[in-house]
Amino acid sequence: MLLIQIVISIIYLGSWVTFVAVRLTRVIWGGLITKFRLRVYKSRYGTKIMKAHWILRLVTSVMYLGFAFGFSIWLPEHFCEFIG
C-alpha cells in the first residue's frame, strides 16, 4: 500500500510540475499578449515580441515532451525497484 501511495504521489508531483512549467506559463504569457495586443502590434518591437512568443511556445512544448517522457520512463524503472 505504501508503494502505491509513493507512485501516486510521484505522478501527482509530475502533473503539478508540468502544469506550472508549461500550462501556467502559457496562460500568463497569452494573457499578457492578449491584454496588450494593440500595443504589441503597433510598437516597433512587435516582431521581436511575437518571435519571443513563438520561442516560448516552442520551449514549453519541448519541456512538456521532456516531462512526459521523463516521467513515463523514470517512473516504471523506480516502481520496479520499489517492488523488488
End-to-end Cα spacing for the chain: 14
Classify residue 18: in a domain, yes or no.
no
pLDDT reported for residue 84: 56
Classify residue 69: in a domain, yes or no.
yes
56 touches 25 (CB < 8 A)? yes
Classify residue 62: in a domain, yes or no.
yes
Please state the pTM of the whole predicted model: 0.63
46 touches 40 (CB < 8 A)? yes
Number of domains comprising the chain: 1
Which grid cell is 15?
Answer: 502533473
Classify residue 79: in a domain, yes or no.
yes
pLDDT reported for residue 55: 93
Distance of alpha carbon 27 from alpha carbon 35, whole angstroms: 12
Task: Quote the domain boundaries for residue 58.
Answer: 53-84
- Residue 8, pLDDT > 80, answer no
pLDDT reported for residue 75: 67
54 touches 9 (CB < 8 A)? no
How would residue 58 be classed by pLDDT, with cut points 50, 70 and 90? Answer: very high
pLDDT reported for residue 6: 61
Per the model's pLDDT, the better-predicted residue between 70 and 54 turns out to be 54
pLDDT reported for residue 18: 77
59 touches 50 (CB < 8 A)? no
